[in-house]
Amino acid sequence: MKQLKEFKPLWNYFKEEKFKIILATIFIVIVELGNTIGGYLSGQTVELITKLNIKDALIYLGIYAFINFFIDILLNMKAWSILQRIENKVSRKLSFNTYKKALNLPSFAYEKTSSGEVINRITNDADSLSFVFGRLLQMISSLIGSVIIIVYVFINSWIVGLEIVFFVTILYFVVKKYNPILIDIHKKRKKEQDKFSSLVNESVRGIREIKTLGVKNNLISDAKELVKSILNISNNEIDNYKKYKIINKIIRTSLEVCVYLTCIILMYIGICSLSFFVAMTYYVYKFMWLIDEINEFSETYQKLYVSVSRVNDILLNRLYQDEKFGNQMISDIKGIIDFKNVKFGYPGEKILLNSFNLKIEPNKKIALVGASGQGKSTIFNLLTRIFDPVDGSILIDNIDIKNLNEEELRKQVSIIRQEPFIFNRSIFDNFKMIDKTITLKEVRKYTKMAYLDDYIMSLPNKYNTILGEGGVNLSGGQKQRLSIARTLAKKSKIILLDEATSALDNKSQEYIKKSIDNLVKDHTVIIVAHRLSTIIDADIIHVIDKGEVMASGKHNELLKNNNIYKNLYETESLNS
């Protein structure tokens, strides 16, 4: 019963197609009843021929042919066509909803769950539903036909009936024993395949770094270990399935031999008719097919159960809860940010911010500086709601950001990271991701503000240039400027720059600095920087240490009055 509960959410996907499912089910039942009657018709035809009653034999043969040609072929094909279309639609919808749900998970969820695991759940696991529902209906209809047959068998011979019941009962216990074993093995294999998918994903996305770092052989070694582990688990699965198939083959052959032998003995002593014997030569294979269907469905079910439970982990929020937002908007945003008594620590770690207070005024260049691990980037993670504070509140224009709806928060707050994410599309399409109605003229306006238009226009395909995975065809500075231009297209009031210039050369840094200066007059710009030389002209510099604002002011003031800032600046100057 516990396993069946996993399939309950799937019913919501099938409910829309219930009338088609009912129609297909009726067709399958009719086909199954026709097949069931087929054995009886064969037996009667043979017996009538032995009695030289050719006329009646031809009538029975004609009915048998009609059932096989019209009912079995036409109705069966129609039923399977309906079911396959339904399954295909449900699989696609399930895959889409899993993808959509995955995007609604909190960002920190992906710090604990590998990308390969999520990708496999969205693609392979969601797709595993195909053809399973049809097989289930086929098996159920076969069971109905088998019940009719067993009634017919008991009416003619209770001995043969008991033999069939005996072997089917043995089969039930065999399935019951091997199902949990095979399900457990399949789960383990899925886990290892998730790891391998993650490794492949990282390797493809980071191919340039892999080559330049010289870690190719290490990754190949890791992949070899994972492939070996998957192979060992797969071989274990094959071995167990082989035992399962051998036992089933023994049951099948034993059932066939026992039924035939019993019918021969009963015919010899005059208890059973020739028509019953011929019917049983047909029906015994019917039970063989039923056993095959049970075996095939059992094998499919084992894999399906694992896949459905993995998809349900995401759809039913069993791993992580969805991000929750309010429904408030900001009609005329000013860009005032206020951290009030904020308390926060990363999961499993000590408190990083405790009673943290900071107010940021709009239309200024604000800098956050301090040693690593003091909470600077954490402030950005809280402001973008990648994480939520344990206590306290963060306000934008006196509205708690928890009360803003998702679209409003994402629209008004943008972040430009040291390694911004660039979509593997054309330059123009990277802007259409922000606004589907944006024109090339508008895009060029923003790239000019970010000092990138001249470079783009020098390319052979200009704004139709494909940027490659993660924007590999751009330099670090060009990625930063493209990210700034995208942010301008987004029209965010609050712009966060997280170490945005720390890895750039002086020329690229100067371009970024000019771009930032262009933003300040209309935006709240907050910069987290290690390189203090990039923010010495900031309107206000906040010195963060041990999760607190230790000092605030302009560069020269802090240099005179704050030892933490002075030490940071002198250390940087010395290193330079």
DSSP code string of 383-410: HTTSS--SEEEEEETTEEGGGB-HHHHH
CATH ID of 2-315, from 3.40.1350.10, 2.30.40.10, 1.20.120.450, 1.20.1560.10: 1.20.1560.10
Per-residue pLDDT of the chain (576 residues; tens, 9 = 90+): 556 676 676 777 777 778 888 888 888 778 777 777 777 777 777 777 777 778 877 887 787 777 777 777 778 788 878 877 887 787 788 778 778 777 777 766 666 666 666 777 777 776 666 556 666 666 666 777 777 777 777 887 888 888 888 887 887 788 778 777 877 887 788 788 878 877 777 676 666 556 555 667 777 888 888 888 888 888 888 888 888 888 888 887 888 788 888 888 887 787 877 777 777 777 777 776 666 666 666 666 666 777 777 777 777 777 677 778 888 888 888 888 899 998 888 877 788 888 888 888 888 888 888 877 777 888 888 888 888 888 889 888 888 888 888 888 888 888 887 777 788 788 888 888 888 888 999 989 888 887 888 888 998 899 998 887 767 777 777 888 888 888 888 888 888 888 755 555 566 666 667 767 766 777 888 888 777 777 788 888 888 888 888 888 888 888 888 888 888 777 766 555
The sign of the torsion formed by the CA atoms of 118, 123, 126, 132 equals: negative
Round to whole Å and give the CA distance between 486 and 433. Answer: 9
Helices 476-490 and 440-449: angle between axes, nearest 10 degrees: 120
| pTM of the predicted structure, to 2 decimals | 0.64
- With tokens 């942010």, the residue in question is 487
Residue 314 structure tokens: 């995401």
pLDDT for position 385: 85
Round to whole Å and give the CA distance between 243 and 246. Answer: 5
Domain definitions of the chain by residue range: 2-315, 337-575
Indicate the pairing of strand 524-528 with strand 494-498. parallel
pLDDT for position 77: 80
**Closest by alpha carbon to 6, among 207, 304, 414?**
304
Round to whole Å and give the CA distance between 438 and 347. Answer: 40
Residue 133: burial class (beta carbons within 10 Å; 0-12, 13-18, 19+): buried
Q: Cα 223 to the chain's mean position, in Å?
A: 22
Round to whole Å and give the CA distance between 76 and 142. Answer: 13
Distances (CA, A) of 134 to 148, 395, 562: 21, 54, 74
Amino acid at position 408, single letter: E
**Closest by alpha carbon to 522, among 331, 395, 333, 330?**
333
Distances (CA, A) of 558 to 1, 84, 116, 562, 564: 68, 71, 47, 5, 9
Round to whole Å and give the CA distance between 437 and 292. Answer: 56
Round to whole Å and give the CA distance between 502 and 372. Answer: 13
CA atoms within 13 A on the CB side of 281: 11
Amino acid at position 196, single letter: F
DSSP code string of 555-574: HHHHHHH-HHHHHHHHHHHH
Do residues 79 and 141 lie in contact, with contact meaning Cβ atoms separated by under 8 Å? no
Overall fold of domain 337-575: Rossmann fold (3.40.50)
